[in-house]
Structure 1
Amino acid sequence: MILYRPVGTKELELIKKSNYRSFPPRLPEQPIFYPVLNEQYATEIASGWNVKYNDDHKGYVTKFEVDDSYCGQFEVHQVGAHIIRKYGSLQIN
């Protein structure tokens, strides 16, 4: 399954340090990890939230693959329009 995660510059730098192999522990200002199922929604978050609330006013979208059977144990939440679908708190290391 392909998932997306909007991130700010600080988090992207930590992802780079892992050689793009893992997400870092959550930052204090972002305690919840929730990947989204749609690139368009992730882009909206990155451009609306990350750009607005990060010190450098930049937002990025990460794209990663997770085993379908692993994701099957978590509930998908739809919060509004059909593109706004995310996992509540998927545990990914």
Structure 2
Amino acid sequence: MTSVTLYQPVGLEELQAIKASDWRAFPPHDIEQPVFRPVTSEAFAAQLARDWNAAHTTYRRGYVVQFAVSKTFLDAYENKVSGTPGHEEYWIPSEDLSLLNAAIQGQIAVAGTFAGHDAEYRKLNETHA
């Protein structure tokens, strides 16, 4: 089965929820976030983790997680460019998050982290197999 590697910037609370799922699922999104938007580029995810998660969340931590999803699943969703070429993301309605979680192949892995909005990106490549 063909898969697509995606990235998602997350904060500490979301990372803890992913860990609680044995690194296999994303937690439900807030009602204020009607769309889950994983991105196709680690660099774009790192920018979001630095500029949002590490700068605006309680713990001032931003993480980039990496995961593989069935291409067949993703074919049902639109791949959009978010402003700048190379900033591509899939728009998956929050109510379909359980379907996305079921389509994840393997485990979610931490690719890198930021500590504070002015910190450098630290590559981690943590796997949990």
Fold shared, TM-score > 0.5 on shorter chain:
yes
Residue of structure 2 equivalent to 1:75? 78
Among 43, 47, 54, the residue aligned to 2:46: 43
TM-score, with structure 1 as normaliser: 0.90
**Contact 1:40–1:83, Cα closer than 8 Å, also in 2:** no
Greater Rg, structure 1 or structure 2?
2
- Give the total of aligned pairs: 93
User: Tell me, which stretches of 5 or more residues in structure 1 are unaligned?
Assistant: none
2-structure distance, mates of 1:27, 1:17: 18
Give the aligned residue type for 2:5. I
Structure with a larger share of its residues in strand: 2
Alignment partner, residue 58 of structure 1: 61
- How many angstroms does 1:83 deviate by? 1.8
Residue type matched to 2:48 in 1? I
- Compute the displacement of 1:52 (Å): 1.3
Higher relative contact order (CA 8 A, sep 6+): 1
Cα root mean square deviation, aligned: 1.6
Superposed structure 1 runs of 4+ greater than 4 Å apart = 28-31
SS at match of 1:66: strand
